[in-house]
Chains A and B, each alone.
Chain A
Amino acid sequence: MSTTEDHLVKIENIKTEHHGQPDAEIPVRHVTRRSVLMNIGIGLNALVGLAITAPVIGYVLGPALRKKGFYKSWVSLGNIDRFPNGQTRFATFVTPYKTPTDGATDNTACWVRRLSDTSFQVFAINCAHLGCPVRWFPQSGLFMCPCHGGVYYQDGSRAAGPPERGMFEYQWKLVNGEIQINAGQLPTLSNQASVERKKSCLG
């Protein structure tokens, strides 16, 4: 076949780069009126660009820059009579901070353990390992996680498996015979003390 110069792989510049030989002909630069104007034009665009992108960053990262506690408020889980003494029951609530298109994802589940007339524990549904939905087994008194086999005791402390701590707990209070919890964000290790094994509250 015909081999032309065009078909050669050319990397000579790379070679000179590696051998450190400087390029022989560097065109001399002349400062002219036009080149100054061009540079000013570039500068103007950079300024305007900055002025425009700063708010855009705020727009994209806005959800992350809210003040601590912004998303949280007290929500009711209903009358405490729903939760028999000495038992652990499933409860749901609607998250307090919503957007118009959340659909069913606004609904959140949790486990309510009633220890006595006035004493409760409210556990997040999310496993302290990687957030899978933990299930309560009253017969064996254990919470089990379907994902990687995390297990917790009835008081939420870690029993076995990969979680490095006990279950996440919500702060709770009793108001007019109703139990309310302080909720509103997905419980993860970042809003919980991570290695602390004893009870801690969402915050």
Chain B
Amino acid sequence: MPRLNINPTKTALDVYGWLERRVQLEGFVKESALHPVPKSTASWWYVFGSAATALLVLQILTGILLALVYTPSASEAWQSLNYLNNHLILGWFLRAMHGWGSDFMIAVVLVHMMQVFMFGAYKFPRELTWLLGVGLLFLTLGMGFTGQVLRYDQDAYWGLGIGASIASRVPVIGPYAVHALLGGPIIGGATLTRFFALHVFVIPGLLMGFAGLHVWLVLKLGINEWPMPGRIVRRSTYVHEYNELAHKDGIAFVPGAVWKDLFFSAAIYGAVALCAIIFGPFGPGGQPDPTIIQTAPKPDYFFLWLYSILSYLPDSLETPFLLIAPPIGIAVLIALPFVAGEGEKHWSRRPVAVLTLVFLSISLAVLNHLGTYEPWSPHMTAWSGDPLPAEKVHAELPLERQGAIVFQGKQCRNCHEVGGLGGQRGPSLDAVATRLTYDQLVRQVLQGGGNMPAYGKNLSPAQTTAIVAFLETMHPLGQEPARNAATPNGPPDNMRGNPLTGDGPAQNVGENHPDSNPKPAPKDQKQTQGQTTSRNTKAGAKPGDTTVSLNTVPALVH
């Protein structure tokens, strides 16, 4: 047999040469890699763009792998996710990587955007780069929302309902928008396939196109230089100055700047994997059966701020906000590079920009934080699950004890905390007796107001008397209950016989007028807190005194 004399290095070079003579990419790649960048940009502040790209690659790869198993059918999606989680080797890990990858990607894209804004990188000539970046932000958020829908569980189902409800508020096209979004009259099979097509084909296609163009512009226009106070961007001179900077005080992008990108991307990949291993995949939660209503739907973390806003806005402002704020926000982002295309880049000379960014970041962080524990949501099981803490029940009289039972049974706890347990929709009632007089308590219970429903129709006069008697015991040790300032020396107003007979709304009490419409008290009738409060009465009372009947407490402390 003739001996083949093969030199592996030479063969490899030959193959490479053969390919290069045909595709002819070497020149372009070399030029891109070796183009000079200002030395100052080889900074750890410039790594977020490449990290976002790295995460996009991760999402595409893990997404393809999940698509091997995931079934985009409303009747099977949930089962296929559970199969991935529990039965397929490492299926849970891929789901976790994809889920955590998406969270990281949104975070990194946001940080990248903040950095670019802080460094004035959107100014001439990089306006289009900024606009593509804005597009990429919305596409990334779109991936987040559609991805949450593909995790077809209870949260996804009701989240879609919220999306449809928001769409339904658009004037004129609202009804069409809802049906186009859902692919039919209800949230069902057609809805999931629509979102699947969006999440897997449409948005990723746009995302890759936008990202490619975005990077292309960075190559063509040069990476934004490190801003210096006093170095003003002018359309007429900027390009010349930039070239000077890049060539006089520049380094080749590879390897001068790229090593930091590589380090950071590796760290991000590692962090995603670590989160995936430690915290595991997101859901799926309960099965998407709309007849299971024991659920409290909640969006994923990147939409929690919106959830908070929707809870806090007054109802009259809500539709205008939903319809007007997004277009204004987008218009501002688009107009930014054209309105502020020249001038100072350094943050120390742009106080308005810095304050805007600080304000927006803090607002987002606070709203998102509130969204994680949702103080506005009633705790649906508090009335049956959270007992009244024993130390809070100072009730001595049978009436007061009866009131505590009515208080618990009528679900007051769903919205009101006592001793740190219960809902936070309404104020904590630990010290309510110091804030409201007896009459005010009666009125608040019967008429509601200030976000509280009127209980007039659902409490008998006896129940009202009991519940208010109980609430009158809710005051801290040594602090006397509030009294009517008009009769400071008179008897406490709960001594004045039956207040129910003298009070208008109380006459509606009873279950036999199911259709009489209880008029909630207008908002301006909200109680002025503390107006009749008497504090500073810490003196004298011993711990044991708290169980003394409430009528004697004022006497004790004075």
Q: Which residues of B contact A103 (CB under 8 A)?
A: 73-76, 188-189, 288
Would you list which residues of chain B between 43 and 98 have a CB under 8 Å from chain A?
73-76
Greatest chain A CB density within 10 A among B170, B174, B193, B412 is at B174
Interface string of B405-435 (1 = CB under 8 A from A): 0000111101100000000010000000000
Of the listed stretches A21-29, A33-41, A43-51, A135-143, chain B binds A135-143
Q: Considering the complex, give the chain A residue whose CB is closest to the CB of B318.
A: A162
A95-B451 Cα distance, complex, nearest whole Å: 34
Structural contact, A160 and B452, CB atoms closer than 8 A: yes
Given known A-B contacts A9-B242, A159-B448, A146 and B186 have beta carbons under 8 A apart: no
The reply on A201 being an interface residue by CB < 8 A is no
Partner of A11, one of B161, B239, B377, B520: B239
Structural contact, B186 and A186, CB atoms closer than 8 A: yes
The reply on B243 being an interface residue by CB < 8 A is yes
Q: Which residues of B contact A99 (CB under 8 A)?
A: 184, 188-190
Of the listed stretches B245-253, B261-269, B539-547, chain A binds B245-253
Given known A-B contacts A139-B410, A190-B168, A104 and B288 have beta carbons under 8 A apart: yes
A109-B186 Cα distance, complex, nearest whole Å: 13
Of the listed stretches B207-215, B290-298, B470-478, B486-494, chain A binds B290-298
Structural contact, B291 and A144, CB atoms closer than 8 A: no
Structural contact, B290 and A108, CB atoms closer than 8 A: yes
The reply on A15 being an interface residue by CB < 8 A is yes
Q: Considering the complex, give the chain A residue whose CB is closest to the CB of B158.
A: A132
A12-B310 Cα distance, complex, nearest whole Å: 48
Would you list which residues of chain B between 290 and 323 have a CB under 8 Å from chain A?
290-291, 293-297, 307, 310-311, 313-316, 318-319
Q: Which residues of A contact B166 (CB under 8 A)?
A: 130
Structural contact, A105 and B288, CB atoms closer than 8 A: yes
Q: Which residues of B contact A151 (CB under 8 A)?
A: 378, 453
Q: Which residues of A contact B252 (CB under 8 A)?
A: 1
Structural contact, B425 and A149, CB atoms closer than 8 A: yes
Structural contact, B168 and A63, CB atoms closer than 8 A: no
Closest Cβ of chain B: how far from A30's Cβ, in Å?
A: 32
A86-B455 Cα distance, complex, nearest whole Å: 18
Q: Considering the complex, give the chain A residue whose CB is closest to the CB of B250.
A: A1
Interface string of A5-23 (1 = CB under 8 A from B): 0111111101100110000
Interface string of A161-199 (1 = CB under 8 A from B): 111100000000000000000001110111100100000
Structural contact, B289 and A105, CB atoms closer than 8 A: yes
Interface string of B167-183 (1 = CB under 8 A from A): 11110001111111011
Q: Which residues of A contact B293 (CB under 8 A)?
A: 90, 109, 125, 133-135
Structural contact, B176 and A61, CB atoms closer than 8 A: yes
The reply on B461 being an interface residue by CB < 8 A is no
The reply on B380 being an interface residue by CB < 8 A is yes
The reply on B235 being an interface residue by CB < 8 A is yes
A102-B183 Cα distance, complex, nearest whole Å: 12
Interface string of B315-347 (1 = CB under 8 A from A): 110110000000000000000000000000000
Given known A-B contacts A133-B158, A133-B295, A163-B315, A140 and B411 have beta carbons under 8 A apart: yes
Partner of A160, one of B161, B288, B453: B453
A160-B310 Cα distance, complex, nearest whole Å: 15
Structural contact, B220 and A132, CB atoms closer than 8 A: no
A140-B313 Cα distance, complex, nearest whole Å: 26
A141-B517 Cα distance, complex, nearest whole Å: 13
The reply on B157 being an interface residue by CB < 8 A is yes
A107-B458 Cα distance, complex, nearest whole Å: 32
Q: Which residues of A contact B394 (CB under 8 A)?
A: none
Given known A-B contacts A63-B182, A101-B74, A159 and B161 have beta carbons under 8 A apart: no
A11-B123 Cα distance, complex, nearest whole Å: 14
Closest Cβ of chain B: how far from A123's Cβ, in Å?
A: 12
Q: Which residues of B contact A3 (CB under 8 A)?
A: 36, 247
Q: Which residues of A contact B307 (CB under 8 A)?
A: 148
The reply on B185 being an interface residue by CB < 8 A is yes
Structural contact, A144 and B380, CB atoms closer than 8 A: yes
Closest Cβ of chain B: how far from A10's Cβ, in Å?
A: 8
Structural contact, A130 and B222, CB atoms closer than 8 A: no
Structural contact, A149 and B415, CB atoms closer than 8 A: yes
Q: Considering the complex, give the chain A residue whose CB is closest to the CB of B175.
A: A190
Closest Cβ of chain B: how far from A186's Cβ, in Å?
A: 5
Q: Considering the complex, give the chain B residue whose CB is closest to the CB of A3.
A: B247
The reply on B376 being an interface residue by CB < 8 A is yes
Would you list which residues of chain B between 17 and 58 have a CB under 8 Å from chain A?
31, 34-36
A31-B163 Cα distance, complex, nearest whole Å: 54
Closest Cβ of chain A: how far from B340's Cβ, in Å?
A: 16
Closest Cβ of chain B: how far from A199's Cβ, in Å?
A: 10
Given known A-B contacts A148-B376, A161-B451, A7 and B31 have beta carbons under 8 A apart: yes
Closest Cβ of chain B: how far from A117's Cβ, in Å?
A: 14
Q: Which residues of A contact B288 (CB under 8 A)?
A: 103-105
Q: Which residues of A contact B187 (CB under 8 A)?
A: 105, 186
Interface string of B225-239 (1 = CB under 8 A from A): 000000000011001
Q: Which residues of A contact B415 (CB under 8 A)?
A: 149
A137-B453 Cα distance, complex, nearest whole Å: 13
Q: Which residues of A contact B75 (CB under 8 A)?
A: 101-104
A132-B457 Cα distance, complex, nearest whole Å: 25
Residue numbers of A with Cβ under 8 A of B are: 1, 3, 6-12, 14-15, 18-19, 60-61, 63-66, 71-72, 86, 90, 92, 95, 97-109, 115, 125-126, 129-135, 137, 139-142, 144-149, 151, 153-155, 157, 159-164, 184-186, 188-191, 194
Can you add 13 more A-B contacts, CB < 8 Å, to A103-B73, A188-B168? A1-B251, A71-B184, A102-B75, A105-B74, A131-B164, A132-B297, A137-B383, A144-B378, A144-B411, A146-B377, A149-B425, A154-B457, A162-B313
22 contacts between A and B (CB under 8 A): A9-B246, A10-B239, A11-B125, A19-B236, A63-B183, A95-B186, A97-B185, A97-B186, A99-B184, A102-B188, A104-B75, A104-B291, A105-B186, A115-B514, A130-B310, A140-B458, A142-B458, A153-B453, A153-B457, A155-B515, A162-B310, A194-B319
What are the 8 A-B residue pairs with the smallest beta carbon separation, nearest first?
A: A103-B75, A101-B189, A159-B453, A188-B168, A190-B168, A131-B161, A185-B185, A71-B185
